[in-house]
Structure 1
Amino acid sequence: MAMTSFNSRTRREEIVRRATTTGLTTVEELAETFQVTASTIRRDLAMLTSEGRLTRTFGGAIAPNAHPEASLRQRIGEAFEAKRGIARWTASQIRPGETVLLDAGSTVGALAHELRSARSLTVATTGLTALNELADVDAVHVECLGGSLRHLSQGLVGPLAEAALEKMTFDRVFLGADGVSPDGGICEADLQQTRLKELMARRTEHVYVLAHAAKLIRQPFHAWARLPRKWTLVTDHEADSSVITAFTANGIEVVAVNHEGQRVG
Structure 2
Amino acid sequence: MTMPAKIRRERIYDLARTSGLASVEELSARFEVTPSTIRRDLALLHDQGRLARTYGGAMPIDPHPEASLRQRIGEAFEAKKALARWAAEQVHTGEHVLLDGGSTVGALAHELRARTDLDVTTIGLNTLQELNGCPGVRLTCLGGQLRETSQSFYGPLTELGLARMTFDRVFLGADAVTAEHGICEADHLQTRLKELMAARSTHVYVLAHGEKVGARPFHAWAQLPLPWTLVTTADAPEGQLRLLRENGVTVVPADAGPARD
The one-letter code matched in structure 1 to 2:126 is T
Q: What residue in structure 2 maps to residue 39 of structure 1?
A: none
Structure 2 residue 228 is matched with structure 1 residue 262: no
The percentage of counterpart residues that share the same residue type is: 56
1:109 aligns with 2:97: no
| Contact 2:69-2:150 at 8 Å conserved across structures | yes
In the alignment, which of 160, 163, 181 is matched to residue 178 of structure 2?
A: 181
Q: Distance in 2 between matches of 1:21 and 1:34?
A: 23
Supply the AA of the counterpart residue of 1:114.
E
Q: Distance in 2 between matches of 1:83 and 1:115?
A: 14
Which of 65, 68, 82 is the equivalent residue of 2:65?
A: 68
Mark the CA change 1:251 to 1:166 in structure 2 (over 3 Å): closer, same or farther. Answer: same
Q: Specify the alignment match of 2:90 in structure 1.
A: 93
Q: Distance in 1 between matches of 2:177 and 2:134?
A: 32
Which of 212, 230, 251 pairs up with 2:248? 251
TM-score normalised to structure 1 length: 0.79
TM-score if structure 2 supplies the norm length? 0.80
- State how many pairs are aligned: 249
String of CA shifts for 1:30-50, please: whole Å, max 9, x gaps.
Answer: 9x9549xxxxxxxx7xx959x
- The whole-number CA distance in structure 2 between the counterparts of 1:97 and 1:182 is 33
**Superposition pairs for residues 84-163 of structure 1, below 5 Å?**
84-163=81-160
Q: 1:29 to 1:124 in 2, by over 3 A?
A: closer
Deviates more, 1:248-257 or 1:126-135: 248-257
**CA drift at 1:66:** 2.3
Distance 2:71 2:133 in 1: 25
**8 Å CA contact retained: 1:91, 1:114:** yes
CA distance in 1, matches of 2:22, 2:211: 17
Any gaps of 5 or more consecutive residues in structure 1? 1-5, 7-11, 36-43
Partner amino acid, structure 2, of 1:177: A
Aligned 8 A contact 2:178 2:240 in 1: no
Distance in 2 of aligned mates of 1:223 and 1:193: 8
Taking a change above 3 Å as real, the CA distance of residues 225 and 117 of structure 1, as seen in their structure-2 partners, is: same
1:226 aligns with 2:218: no
Using the alignment, how far apart are the partners of 1:231 and 1:139 within structure 2?
Answer: 28
Gaps of 5+ in 2: 28-33, 38-42
Root-mean-square deviation (CA), in Å? 3.5
Give secondary structure in 2 for the equivalent of 1:116: coil
Give the Cα–Cα distance (whole angstroms) in 2 for the partners of residues 155 and 58 of structure 1: 35
Distance 1:13 1:116, change over 3 A: closer
Q: Is the 8 A contact 1:179 1:220 kept in 2?
A: yes
